[in-house]
């Protein structure tokens, strides 16, 4: 900046600052990340930007005392989880998980404890409270590979390593509730990798499952779950014991159920299987047009006959009638690169997320559709001194819609009738709008230039007119206010 003040960035995610021409230097704290930073520039003594690998952009408004992430998500996406219109997580190479709490307006990346720069987070799964989740994968050194399981209790902001197995790969995890999870993978030595925790991850125990390599898990409640890989397995006791349902001809890469009866599994050489009886019987489904023989990598089921699948060929496909007909779509990608989707998570028939394969340089994540069909809230970034719009969709035409804000985060808040805000008190009522003919409303506000640069959470509520459930709540969104 001048003869005395300068900043220096490099490997390890650290930023150095000097105020005396490098006679001395101080390490400034940055958000936890394994990424390498390539450049830094300051406009004045307060505002600066640092940039690096995997789309990382960090910003400071106080000379580097605090750095906040302005990145656009992650490359090399191995797994994706989406709980509602706003909250999604992606498992990344280099030991990171990226998260969004506002429908992708911002992604924030955190290093996962137990994973180094040479680690791979293969899967991530969070409970419906958007706070408790697990990330699994492996960490590699020059001489060994260790399977790893880490847990977060704050929505993916911070992580703690809970389980490590030498010569192993943990490939899938399912979060049943805030205390219970099941994980699976494979070992380089003879044996089976199938573990379960019921105490929040303090202890992990081996569970009974047929020997084999499994790469996917899905549970629809605390008891009913399925695993897929060399075989398709099922459990009816929360993952303590597993029973083989079928032994498909080819390896199955993913499995997903809408309810205890309706599920889909996809795998190599164009294999698509469907069940309508909980897996007692699995029936083959014809591949989408032009994708026969393609390896299918991911599946997301949003209704008994509605499913999305990803193909190892820059394509995703949707069926709305149980596989009788398919619509095939291509992912956008940069010229000179290919996009190879490997994982998928949808919240309704139109709105969802797709992640890309580590074999390409354009791994996403991608989001399909601007708005979900359900009663949901989305917003753009919030900048001090600018305008911000909060978009609510899925209401009935003419319905009043109330918007609330909390600077204390998400959690149980004030109640009206039997429905309570999902916002920690105090909750500020920002205003009431009315759904238009399409059931949408946009709240637009001017943000004061002097507003504190804190993180805020928002939610909307509407009356339904139904005696049993007189009110409906949207998802929450969480967004930092930026300078």
Query: What's the mean pLDDT in 213-221?
Result: 96
Q: What is the pLDDT of residues 19-64, one digit of tens each?
A: 999 999 999 876 656 668 899 999 999 999 998 876 678 888 889 9
Between these two residues, 331 and 448, which has the higher pLDDT value?
448
Query: What's the mean pLDDT in 228-232?
Result: 95
CA angle 37–39–40, rounded 5-degree value: 110
Q: What is the pLDDT of residues 279-321, one digit of tens each?
A: 999 999 999 999 999 999 999 999 999 999 999 888 899 999 9
Q: Alpha-carbon distance 307 to 27, whole Å?
A: 49
Q: Alpha-carbon distance 483 to 471, whole Å?
A: 36
Q: What is the pTM of this model?
A: 0.89
- Position 142 scores a pLDDT of 76
State CA 200 to chain mean position distance: 20
Q: Alpha-carbon distance 395 to 474, whole Å?
A: 10
Instruction: For residue 346, give the nearest of 79, 73, 83 by alpha carbon.
Output: 83
Q: Alpha-carbon distance 185 to 207, whole Å?
A: 13
Q: Alpha-carbon distance 239 to 383, whole Å?
A: 46
State CA 125 to chain mean position distance: 7
Q: Is the omega angle on the peptide bond into residue 14 within 30 degrees of 0, that is, cis?
A: no
- Position 354 scores a pLDDT of 94
Reduced to 3 states, what is the DSSP secondary structure of residue 427? coil
Highest-pLDDT range among 91-100, 128-137, 326-335: 128-137
């Amino acid at each position: 900046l001048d003869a005395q003040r300068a900043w220096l960035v490099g490997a390890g995610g650290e930023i150095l600052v000097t105020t005396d021409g490098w006679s001395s230097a101080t390490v400034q704290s940055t958000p936890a990340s394994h990424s390498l930073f390539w450049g830094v520039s300051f406009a004045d003594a307060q505002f600066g930007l640092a940039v690096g690998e995997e789309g990382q952009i960090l910003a400071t408004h106080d000379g580097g005392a605090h750095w906040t992430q302005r990145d656009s998500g992650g490359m090399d996406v191995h797994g994706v989880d989406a709980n509602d219109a706003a909250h999604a997580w992606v498992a990344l190479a280099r030991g990171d998980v990226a998260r969004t709490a506002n429908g992708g307006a911002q992604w924030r990346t955190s290093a996962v404890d137990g994973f180094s720069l040479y680690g791979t987070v293969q899967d991530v799964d969070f409970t419906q409270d958007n706070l408790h989740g697990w990330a699994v994968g492996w960490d590699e050194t020059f001489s060994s590979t260790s399977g790893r399981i880490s847990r977060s209790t704050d929505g993916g902001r911070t992580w703690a390593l809970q389980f490590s197995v030498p010569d192993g790969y943990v490939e899938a995890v399912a979060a049943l509730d805030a205390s219970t999870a099941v994980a699976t993978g494979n070992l380089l030595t003879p044996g089976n990798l199938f573990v379960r925790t019921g105490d929040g991850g303090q202890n992990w125990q081996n569970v009974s499952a047929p020997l084999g390599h499994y790469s996917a898990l899905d549970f629809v409640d605390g008891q009913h779950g399925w695993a897929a890989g060399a075989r398709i397995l099922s459990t009816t006791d929360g993952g303590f014991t597993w029973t083989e349902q079928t032994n498909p001809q080819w390896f199955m890469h993913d499995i997903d159920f809408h309810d205890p009866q309706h599920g889909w599994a996809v795998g190599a050489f164009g294999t698509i299987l469907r069940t309508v009886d909980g897996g007692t019987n699995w029936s083959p489904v014809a591949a989408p047009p032009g994708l026969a023989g393609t390896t299918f990598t991911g599946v997301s089921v949003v209704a008994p006959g509605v499913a999305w699948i990803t193909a190892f060929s820059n394509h995703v496909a949707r069926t709305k009638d149980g596989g009788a007909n398919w619509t095939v779509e291509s992912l956008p990608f940069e010229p000179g690169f290919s996009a190879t989707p490997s994982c998928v998570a949808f919240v309704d028939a139109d709105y969802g997320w797709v992640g890309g394969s580590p074999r390409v340089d354009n791994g996403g994540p991608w989001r399909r559709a601007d708005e979900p069909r359900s009663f949901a809230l989305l917003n753009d970034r919030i900048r001090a001194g600018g305008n911000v719009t909060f978009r609510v969709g899925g209401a009935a035409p003419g319905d009043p819609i109330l918007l609330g804000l909390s600077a204390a985060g998400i959690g149980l808040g004030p109640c009206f009738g039997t429905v309570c805000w999902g916002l920690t008190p105090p909750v500020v009522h920002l205003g009431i709008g009315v759904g238009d003919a399409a059931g949408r409303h946009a709240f637009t506000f001017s943000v004061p230039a002097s507003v504190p640069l804190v993180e805020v959470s928002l939610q909307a509520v509407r009356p339904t007119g139904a005696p049993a459930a007189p009110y409906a709540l949207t998802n929450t969104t969480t967004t930092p206010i930026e300078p």
